[in-house]
Amino acid sequence: MKFVAFERAKQGTGASRRLRITGRTPGIVYGGTGEPSLIELDHNALWHAIKKEAFHASILEMELGGKTQKVLLRDLQMHPFKQQVLHIDFQRVDAKTRLTMKVPVHYSGEENSPAVKTDLCLVNHVLTDLSITCLPADLPEFISVDLSGLTKGSSLHVKDITLPKGVKFAAKGTQDNPVLASVTATAEEAEAAPAAAAAPAEAKDAKAGAKPAAKAPAKK
């Protein structure tokens, strides 16, 4: 995905405020072998770009001063209530340096799983993105996860899926195998289970509490 940036001469709160009034968004590019560069972007073009998933989770081609360089979106500062991007940060990409990024997870096939198709259960998508580490050339735009094998009461973990070539899950702390998706019973099924279990018990209690039939008086 390509976008155009322009060199920014002035910095500071006042300069950034004046820049936003003219319909521009201040930003910075850092990392790699070069020095940090102050940039500005057309806000309207940027606003449309940030609505695309690829802008957040793929290597971007930034045209700056007639030259193109590969960058990644690293930070996006939004206005608290206006539809306005206040500031944006990009990181230069080094082809030989591994990246750690969050990429979206795209789920599919759950409607064909035994859990949904046969047992009418619900599938809960626990994670919507995944932290991965890889070289820039191996960075996927998203991770595809097939849920067609889910069964009633089961769950799918990170170690249950095959990640793209060159991609590894970036574990954090003790979360080395988090749940991606889990299967739960529907509300009707959950309510029906206790009711079904209570029925035999109620029948047993009713039987135990019934008075024995009175015996007919003996004939003289």
Q: List the CATH number of the domain containing 113.
A: 2.170.120.20
Q: Which pLDDT value is given to residue 9?
A: 84
Under 8 Å between Cβ of 74 and 89: yes
Tell me the average pLDDT of the chain: 88
Query: Closest Cα partner for 151 from 129, 196, 128, 181?
Result: 181
Please give the residue that has the higher pLDDT: either 101 or 198. 101
Averaged pLDDT, 73-82:
94
Q: Which pLDDT value is given to residue 135?
A: 95
**Given a cut of 90, is residue 203 above it in pLDDT?**
no
Q: Which CATH number do you get for residue 39?
A: 2.40.240.10
Q: Same domain for 73 and 112?
A: no
Burial class (CB in 10 A: 0-12, 13-18, 19+), 57: buried
Q: Same domain for 83 and 115?
A: no
Please give the residue that has the higher pLDDT: either 176 or 214. 176
Read off the DSSP letter of residue 216.
P
**Given a cut of 60, is residue 211 above it in pLDDT?**
no
**Given a cut of 90, is residue 188 above it in pLDDT?**
no
Query: How do 60-64 and 168-169 pair as beta strands?
Result: unpaired
**pLDDT by residue (tens digit) across 21-46?**
999 999 999 987 778 999 999 999 99
Whether residue 87 lies inside any domain: the answer is yes
Q: Same domain for 54 and 123?
A: no
Picking from 52, 68, 92, the residue at the C-terminal end of a domain is 92
**Given a cut of 60, is residue 98 above it in pLDDT?**
yes
3 state DSSP class of 145: strand
Domain encompassing residue 57: 2-92
Q: Same domain for 110 and 177?
A: yes
Q: Same domain for 149 and 181?
A: yes
pTM: 0.77
3 state DSSP class of 159: helix
Tell me the percentage of the chain whose pLDDT exceeds 70.
85
Averaged pLDDT, 124-128:
96
Q: Which pLDDT value is given to residue 213?
A: 55
Under 8 Å between Cβ of 95 and 135: yes
Query: Closest Cα partner for 189 from 122, 123, 125?
Result: 122
Q: How many domains does the chain have?
A: 2
pLDDT bracket for residue 50 (50, 70, 90): very high
Q: DSSP letters of 88-129? A: EEEEE--TTS-EEEEEEEEEE-GGGSHHHHTT--EEEE--SE
Tell me the percentage of the chain whose pLDDT exceeds 90.
74
Query: Closest Cα partner for 105 from 149, 48, 157?
Result: 157
Q: Which pLDDT value is given to residue 102?
A: 93
